[in-house]
Amino acid sequence: MEYGFLSIIPPIIAIILALRTKQVYIALLFGIWFSWLIIEGWNPLQATLSMVEGMVNVFQSQGNTRTIMFSALVGALLIFIQFSRGVEGFINIINKKLVKLESKKTGYSRVMVQILATLTGLLLFVETSISSLTVGTLYRPIFDKLKIPREKLAYIADSSSAPSSILIPFNAWGAFIMGLLLTQGIEQPFSVMIASIKYNFYPLLAIILVFVVILSKRDFGLMKKAEKRTKETGLLMNKGSKPMVSDEVTSFPPKEGIPPKAYNMVVPLLVMVCMMPINLIYTGWNQVKTYTSTFDHVQQAIGVGSGSSSVLYAVITALLVAIIMYMIQGFLKPKEAVNLTLKGVSELMPLALLMLLAFAIGDACKVLDTGNYVANATESWLSPQLLPAVVFIVSSFIAFSTGTSWGTFAIMMLISIPMANTHGADITMVVAATLGGGIFGDHCSPISDTSIISSMASASDHIDHVKTQLPYALFGGLITVILYLILGFLG
């Protein structure tokens, strides 16, 4: 059955509700229900039952189930790392580096401390909240001592968290994106996701810009005024500012009576990251029939391997390694391991729920053929050369208005991928534009959870953080649109 114009109403309703209520869960849920209301001939009772069955059917896809399980178990791994005092040990190593810097000239110290803060945020790519919280709370005292404004710390924490998580997708972000690609019929989601990284200009530019600003010592916009204020008056914030204060690096108390050791954090995370390509090779090895060499076999196996299986096996392996390490050290008992796992899973249940709703609305819109309708409707006036830039701008607007990049990915993927197929555009570039637009809009948004956490951890006034970061984000966003247009028209 063809639904025509009706097929675009559910995602439009989801977008409008998200903008009005700022509650992406409610928006997606109502979008799913309205999709089934159309499919079931405007029967509200049958639509409600079909919505429930639609969410149950999400788990019929093994890829979806693995992705949701992975996201929940990442929460458990983070709790184990916090419990082991691994984060604290890592922080102590950084602090030793900071002590050495204090003997250097002030100008050198200012630059190196900001570089270390940025590198710390990039290295903690496994989870954006942990990255922002760690950078803000760890570096705040030394930033204050060196008279670096709180707005600069919040900017570094914010601009090194989400961009690194999207560019190094061996985390819940990568699993979520692969799940969305699978719902749109992409048979090799991992390969497409990895191939899109080179076109994901905004996160790349955001990170590059942080280093350029730090090394050149040349700020612009309101950040320049903040730097001038701090140097001339010593004020770390504007007069009348209301800092969002947080003294907690993690959400779970560490084990008492044990020494903090960095390897309790580094080893499990390293195991998880290293096991992902190994698992891709394992799951794709027997699917490769024709190859010229072992290296060629490995390359092809990575391309056709199961991304959802790989990330799930990787996080399970990392959890087992962490449990064994901590038991050998004598501070973890089997009962504690079970309790920690359940605690960690519960903390990331909102993330798992978002994935469930995202997959469900994707499935419903596939029945409505929403993506193909939009693609066909725009075929006469929207050229493939313009598509990446348009997708980036629309994704940016949704993310800015809702404050969530993940919700933006869920809504836009089901529209942008069919449009790419219909218009003959490069699918990897369109995927990159969707993802980059979500990050850009999130960076500009005052209701973004990542921005709020960065302000809180840095004890910065949140509005001041948004205002000082905005010129940098807009600069990166403008360059990104120009790059998409150049690539679109010049190929």
List pLDDT tens digits, range 139-149. Answer: 887 888 888 99
Any domain includes 469: yes
Q: Give me the pLDDT at residue 398, please.
A: 84
Q: How far is CA 125 from CA 85, 149, 163, 166, 398, in A?
A: 18, 24, 9, 8, 24
Mean pLDDT is lowest, of 167-171, 172-176, 350-354, 407-411, for: 350-354
Any domain includes 139: no
CB 261 within 8 A of CB 85: yes
CB 435 within 8 A of CB 174: no
Residue of 364, 416, 372, 422 whose CA lies nearest to 390: 416
pTM: predicted TM-score of the whole model, two decimal places: 0.77
Q: How many CB atoms lie within 10 A of CB 343?
A: 16
- What band does 249 get if pLDDT is binned at 50, 70 and 90? very low
50 vs 280: CA distance, rounded Å: 35
Any domain includes 482: yes
Residue of 457, 409, 407, 403 whose CA lies nearest to 130: 457
CB 364 within 8 A of CB 54: yes
Q: Give me the pLDDT at residue 472, please.
A: 95
Any domain includes 112: no
Q: How far is CA 467 from CA 138, 388, 449, in A?
A: 23, 27, 16
* pLDDT surpassing 70 at residue 246: no
- What band does 248 get if pLDDT is binned at 50, 70 and 90? very low
Q: Give me the pLDDT at residue 247, please.
A: 46
Q: Which residues pair with 313 in a beta bridge?
A: none
What's the token pair of residue 344?
């960690």
Residues 6 or more apart whose CB falls under 8 angstroms from that of 418 comprise 184, 370, 371, 372, 374, 375
164 vs 174: CA distance, rounded Å: 11
Angle at CA 131, nearest 5°, toward 273 and 175?
A: 45
Q: Is 236 helix (H, G, I), strand (E, B) or coil?
A: coil
200 vs 380: CA distance, rounded Å: 27
Mean pLDDT is lowest, of 183-187, 260-264, 331-335, 349-353, for: 349-353
| Stronger pLDDT, 98 or 167, i.e. the higher one | 167
Any domain includes 48: yes
| Alpha-helix residue ranges (DSSP H) falling in 305-378 | 307-328, 334-347, 349-368, 370-378
Residue of 146, 78, 150, 66 whose CA lies nearest to 106: 146
Share of the chain above pLDDT 70, in %: 93
Contacts 24+ apart (CB under 8 A), 34-43: 34/9, 34/10, 35/10, 35/361, 35/364, 35/365, 35/367, 35/368, 36/364, 38/3, 38/6, 38/7, 38/9, 38/10, 38/368, 39/3, 39/364, 39/367, 39/368
What's the token pair of residue 439?
């990050």
Q: How many CB atoms lie within 10 A of CB 167?
A: 18
- Length in residues, the chain: 491
- What band does 100 get if pLDDT is binned at 50, 70 and 90? low
357 vs 14: CA distance, rounded Å: 11
Residue that has been written with the tokens 């999400």 in this structure = 58
Q: How many CB atoms lie within 10 A of CB 232?
A: 9
* pLDDT surpassing 70 at residue 448: yes
Averaging pLDDT over each range in 290-294, 435-439, 455-459, which range is the top one?
Answer: 435-439
- What band does 473 get if pLDDT is binned at 50, 70 and 90? very high
What's the token pair of residue 218?
């040349």
Residues 6 or more apart whose CB falls under 8 angstroms from that of 445 comprise 399, 400, 401, 402, 403, 451, 466
The dihedral through the CA atoms of 276, 279, 283, 286 has a sign that is: positive
Mean pLDDT is lowest, of 220-224, 268-272, 352-356, 370-374, for: 370-374
Q: How many CB atoms lie within 10 A of CB 116?
A: 19
Model confidence over 103-126: pLDDT tens digits?
Answer: 555 557 788 889 989 998 898 787
Residue of 412, 411, 415 whose CA lies nearest to 376: 415
Q: Give me the pLDDT at residue 80, please.
A: 92
* pLDDT surpassing 60 at residue 298: yes
Specify the amino acid at residue 269.
L
Q: Which residues pair with 461 in a beta bridge?
A: 243
Any domain includes 150: no
Q: How many CB atoms lie within 10 A of CB 430?
A: 27
Mean pLDDT is lowest, of 129-133, 237-241, 417-421, for: 129-133
Any domain includes 405: yes
Any domain includes 151: no
Average pLDDT over residues 411-432: 89
Q: Which domain holds residue 370?
A: 4-60+350-490
What's the token pair of residue 113?
């401390």
Count how many domains the chain has. Answer: 1
* pLDDT surpassing 50 at residue 250: no
Q: Give the H/E segment covering residue 148.
A: none
Q: Give me the pLDDT at residue 225, please.
A: 93
Q: Which residues pair with 243 in a beta bridge?
A: 461
Q: What is the mean pLDDT of the chain?
A: 85
